[in-house]
Amino acid sequence: MVSPFSVLSIFLFITFIVHVDSVCVQGQVLTQVTKYGTVDTQCILNNIKVLPGSSFKLAYPDCLECRCTAKSMACCGFGYAAGVAAPPPGCVAHNDALPSNSLICYECGCDQDDTTTCNCDTTSDITDNDYCVILEQRYVSTTYVQLSRIPRNSSWVYIEDPYYVLTQESIRYNLTTRQWYLWTSSVVFGCDWDLCNSPSLINSLPNSFKYNINSTWLNSNIYGTGSVTSCHHCDTEVCGDITNPSDFSTCQMVTCNTNVTSCLAYDLWNNVATGEQCYQSQCAPEYLNGANGEIYGGKYRIDLEAVVYLAKDRSKYDIWEMDVYCAVNNCTRPTIFQEVSQQLKLEIGDLSAFPPIRPLPISNPLRCYSCDCFDQPTCPCSSTVVSSLDYTYCVIVRENFGQQAYIYADYLELDATLMYIEEFPYALVEESIDYNEKTGLWFTTTNFVVYGCNWNYCNKPEYIPLLPNSYQMRLPEAWLNSSILGNGQPISNCHQCPEQAHCGTTDFLEENTCPIQSCNTTCLVLDTYEDPAYDYLCYQSFCLPPDTQDYQLDRHKVEIEGIVYASQQNVVHLWEIDIYCRANDCSRAGIFKDLRANLRVEPGTLGALFTETHDPNIPQRRCYDCYCHNQPGCICERTTIMAANQTYCMIMRESYGQDVWTSLGHISQDSTRVHIQDFPYLLVEESILYDEQINRWNTITNFVVYGCNYDLCNHPSLVPSMPTSFQMRLSEDWLNINVKGNGQPVRNCHECPDGPQCGHSDYLDTSHCPIKECNTTCLVFDTFDKPNDDLQCYQSFCAPADSDDFHIDTHRVEIEGLLYLNKKPYTFELWEVDIYCRADDCSRPEIFTELKNNLTYEYGDLSPFEPQTSTSSQSTNNPPTTTSSTNNPPTTASSTNNPPTTSTTPSKASLLSGASSFIALVITIFLMNFH
Ligand SMILES: *[C@@H]1O[C@H](CO)[C@@H](O)[C@H](O)[C@H]1NC(C)=O
Ligand SMILES: *[C@@H]1O[C@H](CO)[C@@H](O)[C@H](O)[C@H]1NC(C)=O
Ligand SMILES: *[C@@H]1O[C@H](CO)[C@@H](O)[C@H](O)[C@H]1NC(C)=O
Ligand SMILES: *[C@@H]1O[C@H](CO)[C@@H](O)[C@H](O)[C@H]1NC(C)=O
Ligand SMILES: *[C@@H]1O[C@H](CO)[C@@H](O)[C@H](O)[C@H]1NC(C)=O
Ligand SMILES: *[C@@H]1O[C@H](CO)[C@@H](O)[C@H](O)[C@H]1NC(C)=O
């Protein structure tokens, strides 16, 4: 046996001839004609088809990275196959990548006076080799704005870099004021990343670049006395470039018609780089002299079309065209353009909206609403922002400041919360339960509510009114009085461990930590990490400093932060509890257990907030998406979304010798060779190999694929169950008799190397596969195109003799079988059997039926793989069973809360600017506020 990849059957040897020493190979796309006459052209790997547009890697030992397009498959080596000496680190298995997206551009139009219609959600992503534009066209009374896309080569001068501002400007003379002014007739902004032609740039564009010329110069060189009688006149455009200068001899001075008192000369640059330009001159058109001349721009002006490339030096510009309208003797001289260029000054406006470096393309994009409002019950919002689902999600945050509320919608980094968010959507609430010493009453205020979700446009503005009453956490007054307030006098002692939090179970913390010291103010007791399931918390306690003139610290207060997930709306997971207390022994670690026992949760609008748990507009499939190499657990928190009608979720576990690759992700519908009838399923490929040294048959599982079709069903917790999920076995006796024989080369084989013969097993026509002599090994393949219909394809031939490059196992059975788990008893389908045999007459077509009858199945615990019984739309989004606590390890979350003396109180006012909304949230959530 040479490599596990001889598993890939003879077809792969034919399609890509893998030579490890050659760095790149051009593979063919495998085109299969199905029995139904349809042709599918796809790249195949391990019998799993890969759609054109995908790229994938072949694991060690091939270490090829392949890119599959509709026309070709190119595979290049990586790791040692690329000539790198080091062993291939993380040679991962296939990656059925996202289809290549073309650029997304906004598509809308509006008047600049009313840009509301430009704040549109209409986008296009149709054609490749386009880029996005904003076009602002100024007319006398209005400016029209268009957001769209244009082909890369649509400008008359080739755009060097499609991130630019192209302006058409005119420096004009106002006859009334006798002053020069700038008129911008159009601005084109081009850019080439997703949604870069954002409506928010509309107002920045006219101020981006302005061209300017000293008016003294203009007066003497363009206006003069305001009248001229003769101009240069060329019969045709005079063109030239650096090597072939223009010949202006055809351009002679002529006397203009009596109604014309100015000249027009223009200069076009066809190729800025080679200086290729064309000059033309004549008397100005007569209409410029008429009463409406000024409406047409006037007869004293310089029109300019110029481009600034935003990713380059922004003080440089390329002039594409210059038109000079002038009334000075000899002002149409060919050198006028150089003279104007020398006078021209570029004024650079506010370019802060245009990043000097293009933003990186956003992977796994996520679109969120992005707005903020102050003190409004609703917050109309149509602007959106694109971030990446890989590390962000969408939020709506409502923060209360006294009677007022600051609300914003945006995205938030996944790690912005100190605690791990297990799933989306969620509602996070922080409440303060304060004691009013004057009235003697406890009152609860909500400090903030965060709604978090992770699909496009999920942080809908409609949810904003639901936030204030999402849910409430309440503690009984009697408990508050006895456990927090006490007699209201300063406490006499506190547990003291101000430096850092101590983590463990309540009992452990009671025994081991935080000495009791005298205190005559208030105890602050913190619980910064909670896992009630294990009675686990991170605990900290200390005596607060005495009040000063400037500030008074809270004396009786409980601050609770809790999160509710849509999948379990009646459970609040507490994230943090801060207790300011003066009751006896209130600083003990056990107080948190007491508090939990007394905490009452009152659900409010949670049901309405959680009506959607995924994007209802686009049927989406959300799958875990990770690779693991030799990790039995394969911890995976990353999820990706693709269209539900195109993909389902899978876990694929491949073994090559001692190496195990696990991939979780999406797989294209119908990408498997045989149509999948039902979900979930387990697909297993095994090799049964004869070990000549110990005279025994060994069964190896090459790969197991679990496929399922509801959100997050490929949960990583299933990975450890995969190897033992389902196995196929053949008895040694049967293998010895039917496959091995006496171990000598086979004498003859059925021969039909050109193609398989297909039909129902009873009617399989094998006349095209006559028996021929052979003295090596028979290769007999049987694929089941429609396993449930017994439709099978048979092929057999005598293996070529071994050579240096090529070695074929002499006794071997490959079996690929699929188990549908949806109904009991489970349905089993045999997909393919490949036999390498030397037993007499082992290439007979009937051998497959015999094999099938002798095949036994061993099931492991399949319950984790079975479909979920609940049919409600919400539960279909839940990961099956145990949300593995590996995601949420009660590690050493030692939060180092400084003693309050040094703690800064974030100014609430600064939060209202909205500029630092993320920081605001983070600060609000995670800093202790003393106010
Ligand atoms: C010239 O300036 C006057 C006075 O500011 C203004 O009313 C007029 O519209 C200007 N003409 C043009 C063509 O801009
Ligand atoms: C324009 O040029 C004239 C003569 O060269 C000079 O005196 C004047 O200061 C310049 N004006 C400005 C605004 O630079
Ligand atoms: C000049 O304009 C006047 C009035 O618009 C017109 O009658 C006359 O024919 C024009 N002259 C020429 C030479 O075009
Ligand atoms: C026009 O200007 C050019 C360049 O300054 C000069 O060579 C030429 O003699 C001038 N022609 C006339 C008629 O003044
Ligand atoms: C509290 O203790 C501080 C020092 O520990 C002391 O200065 C202060 O007088 C005490 N206050 C009361 C009310 O006992
Ligand atoms: C999947 O659904 C989307 C939207 O519903 C549709 O545009 C697309 O054509 C569908 N694709 C397939 C392969 O059915």
Each residue's pLDDT tens digit, 137-192: 887 788 889 898 888 777 778 888 889 999 999 999 998 999 999 999 889 999 98
Is residue 2 predicted with pLDDT exceeding 90? no
Give pLDDT tens digits for 222-231.
999 889 999 9
Q: Specify the pLDDT at position 19.
A: 25
User: For residue 489, which of 583, 406, 416, 624 has the smallest C-alpha distance?
Assistant: 583
pLDDT band at 922 (very low <50, low <70, confident <90, very high): very low
Tell me: the pLDDT tens digits for 776-815? 899 898 887 777 777 788 888 888 888 776 677 889 999 9
Cβ-based burial of 113 (10 A; exposed 0-12, middle 13-18, buried ≥19): exposed
pLDDT(449) > 90: yes
Closest CA to ligand 3's atom 11: 259
Is the pLDDT at 896 greater than 60? The verdict is no
Q: Are 484 and 583 spatial neighbours (Cβ–Cβ below 8 Å)?
A: yes
Report the pLDDT value the prediction gives residue 44, as an integer from 0 to 100: 55
253 CA closest ligand 4 atom index: 13
Asked whether 420 and 545 are in contact (CB, 8 A), the reply is: no
Write down the pLDDT at residue 41: 53
Instruction: Please give the mean pLDDT across all residues of the chain.
Output: 77
Mean pLDDT over 599-606 rounds to 89
| Model confidence pLDDT, tens digit, residues 664-674 | 888 877 667 67
Res. 58: pLDDT tops 80: no
**Atom 6, ligand 3: which residue's CA is nearest?**
259
Least reliable range by pLDDT among 32-41, 122-131, 439-448: 32-41
State residue 29's pLDDT score: 52
Distance from Cα 287 to the centre of ligand 1, integer Å: 19
pLDDT score, position 187 = 92
Residue 338 pLDDT > 80? yes
pLDDT given at position 7: 22
What average pLDDT score do residues 340-359 get?
A: 88
The residue extents of the domains of the chain are 4-82, 105-348, 365-612+894-926, 620-865
Q: Give me 144's structure tokens.
A: 């029209």
Contact indicator for 690, 811 with CB cutoff of 8 Å = yes
**272 Cα to the center of ligand 4, angstroms:** 26
Task: Give the DSSP letter string of 190-248.
Answer: EE-STT-S-GGGTTTSTTTEEEE--HHHHIIIIITTS--SEEEE-SS-EEE-SSS---G
The mean pLDDT value for 586-615 works out to 89
CA of 522 to the centre of ligand 5 (A): 12
Query: Given pLDDT bands bounded at 50, 70 and 90, which one contains residue 243?
Result: confident
- Residue 891 confidence (pLDDT): 28
Q: What is the structure's pLDDT at 928?
A: 25
Residues 428, 431, 434, CA angle at the centre, nearest 5°?
175
- Cβ neighbourhood burial of 760 (10 Å; 0-12, 13-18, 19+): exposed
Q: Which ligand is nearest to the CA of 286?
A: 3
- Closest ligand to the CA of 493: 5
Instruction: Output the pLDDT for position 459.
Output: 93
Query: What confidence category does residue 743 fall into, taking pLDDT thresholds of 50, 70 and 90?
Result: confident
Q: Which residues pair with residue 447 across a beta bridge?
A: none
CA distances from 459 to 194, 378, 713 (A): 21, 13, 24
pLDDT band at 911 (very low <50, low <70, confident <90, very high): very low
Pocket of ligand 6 (CB under 6 A): 643, 645-646
Q: Is the pLDDT of residue 421 over 50?
A: yes
| In the predicted structure, residue 340 carries a pLDDT above the cut 50 | yes
Q: What number is the average pLDDT over the span 655-679?
A: 80
For residue 710, pLDDT beyond 50: yes
Distance from Cα 520 to the centre of ligand 5, integer Å: 6
The answer to which of 448-462, 505-519, 699-713, 908-922 has the lowest mean pLDDT is 908-922
Q: What percent of the chain has pLDDT over 90?
A: 26
pLDDT band with cut points at 50, 70 and 90 for residue 452: very high
